[in-house]
Amino acid sequence: MEQHEKVFDLIGVGVGPFNLGLAALLDEVDGVEPLFFEQNDEFDWHPGMLIEGTKMQVPFIADLVTMADPTNKYSFLNYISKNERMYQFYFLQRLDIPRREYNDYCQWVSRQLNSCQFGKRVTNIRPVRDNEQYYEVTVVDTKTEETTVYRSKNLVMGTGSTPVMPKSFQGFPEDEVFHTADFLPNHDRCRNANSITVIGSGQSAAETFRELLKEQKECGFRLDWITRSPGFASMEESKLSLEHFSPDYVNYFYQLPQEQKDEIFATQGLYYKGISNHTINDIYNLLYEYSVGGKEADVGMQVLSEVKDLKKKADGGYEIDCYHWQKQEAFTHESDIVISATGYKPHVPDFVHELSDFLEWDEKGRYKVTKDYRLKKQEDLQGEIYVHSGISHTHGVGSTNLGLSVHRNKVIINQLVGREVFPMNEKTIFQSFDI
């Protein structure tokens, strides 16, 4: 095991958009030496869902840096310019860029940042009290399996989210029952199936269903979409609703009592969990076109129905046990392929849970977080652990939003360096949440 002698100012765990944005902004801040570790070999943003035609749910202005500093060289517009696509982008006349392009843009940024190291998995962190106070970070090289221990005054956790698969969907062949996060690697398999069922009704479910619906006639498979929700509800996308994804709303939400925050958050699903209007329109338009001339597409859309269990049939395919919760009636449905669009949960690595005596936790087992995104500690150690992931319970509905992550990075940098590198303009919206 190698021990790295230098003590860094900040070590980041994970390089998704949140820590990549932080690395990009810190690149222009003098006097801070950061290092970020990502277990994947390169930056790759939800690769299983980079379906052709899917687009970002935030305007390109919510890139890695622009909301903090429009003159930053890592802006999306500079990426467009350096890649000589200025005129094409100008004539495109769109704010909502393709998701594939956002990924390509982030890869372009990540290749320029020496502070971001790929193929390195962080396996442990340990607070150390010596003459100096610092954190020890254990890092494994995913190719050579060599372990190196680094030291840092502060840490930042950007470990993102992980797909959620209900228990009853687990343990089956991975090319027959899989999460939408693995859709593209299994796309060809779908094209050759006799029947496919998508379960769930969020944006990922809708995008997967739309993609399969486009191919359904040509490939000839039966396509079903089942959800326990009362409908295929559209996301709340009005401009005034979008103001919930603002620093003002985060500030308002943060100061509420935890019990009240949990109650409010539970009512805000449609701000981030529903389906974009344009995706619903695409699906409806396809269904309408398929029905011209009285034809009936081999497609089903079933609401109000919860999937209870999944059984592999002896002659191939799956029997899906469903329950219509309003009629209180059970029914079964059969399908060759089952795609679980059952969402994501925050990925909090085990080594964070192992710091249970060091950090403060609430009664639901969630870590406590200060307003400026530091994990609350039981002990008075100088170094901070900043956090991007798993903070919806403290900072609300915008915690996973790409636009707001730039604001969070401004707050983190100002706190880290102890001065206002980025001015904080907290009156950013028209409506008032506070009094």
Kindly list the residues in this chain that would bind ligand FAD in the complex (CB under 6 A).
Answer: 13-19, 37-40, 45-46, 49, 56-58, 121-122, 158-161, 204, 344, 347, 349, 388-389, 400-402
Exposure string for 95-106, b = 16+ CB within 10 A, e = fewer: eebbbbbbbbbb
Report the nearest approach of ligand FAD to the CB of residue 405 (Å).
7
Helices (H) and strands (E) in the chain, counts: 14, 17
**13/177 with CB nearer ligand FAD:** 13
**103/370 with CB nearer ligand FAD:** 103
d(CA 21, CA 25): 6
d(CA 44, CA 188): 21
Report the nearest approach of ligand FAD to the CB of residue 122 (Å).
4
Angle at 338 between CA 332 and CA 339, to 5 degrees: 130
d(CA 212, CA 110): 32
d(CA 206, CA 279): 7
**8/318 with CB nearer ligand FAD:** 8
d(CA 75, CA 103): 13
Report the nearest approach of ligand FAD to the CB of residue 138 (Å).
10
**127/349 with CB nearer ligand FAD:** 349
The DSSP bridge partners found for residue 20 are none
Strands 318-324 and 305-312: antiparallel
Structure tokens at 418: 């102890």
Question: Rounded to the nearest 10 degrees, what angle do helices 277-290 and 203-219 cross at?
Answer: 20
Strands 147-157 and 161-163: unpaired
Report the nearest approach of ligand FAD to the CB of residue 121 (Å).
4
**145/434 with CB nearer ligand FAD:** 145
**354/420 with CB nearer ligand FAD:** 354
Measured on CA atoms in the order 73, 77, 80, 85, is the torsion positive or negative? negative
Strands 133-141 and 120-129: antiparallel
Report the nearest approach of ligand FAD to the CB of residue 244 (Å).
12
d(CA 350, CA 58): 31
**97/213 with CB nearer ligand FAD:** 97
Nearest by Cα to 400 from 227, 264, 244: 244
Structure tokens at 230: 């009362």
**49/286 with CB nearer ligand FAD:** 49
**166/317 with CB nearer ligand FAD:** 166
Report the nearest approach of ligand FAD to the CB of residue 385 (Å).
14
Q: What share of the chain is helix, strand, coil (3-state, %, to 5)?
A: 35, 25, 40
- The helix (H) or strand (E) run that includes residue 305 is strand 305-312
Nearest by Cα to 79 from 59, 99, 55, 103: 103
d(CA 19, CA 204): 23
Q: What does the DSSP 8-state code read for residue 180?
A: G
Report the nearest approach of ligand FAD to the CB of residue 252 (Å).
20
Report the nearest approach of ligand FAD to the CB of residue 148 (Å).
13
**46/261 with CB nearer ligand FAD:** 46
Report the nearest approach of ligand FAD to the CB of residue 100 (Å).
12
d(CA 435, CA 432): 7
Report the nearest approach of ligand FAD to the CB of residue 388 (Å).
5
Report the nearest approach of ligand FAD to the CB of residue 80 (Å).
18
User: Under a CB-based contact definition with an 8 Å cutoff, are residues 141 and 4 in contact?
Assistant: no
**51/299 with CB nearer ligand FAD:** 51
**181/213 with CB nearer ligand FAD:** 181
Report the nearest approach of ligand FAD to the CB of residue 434 (Å).
24
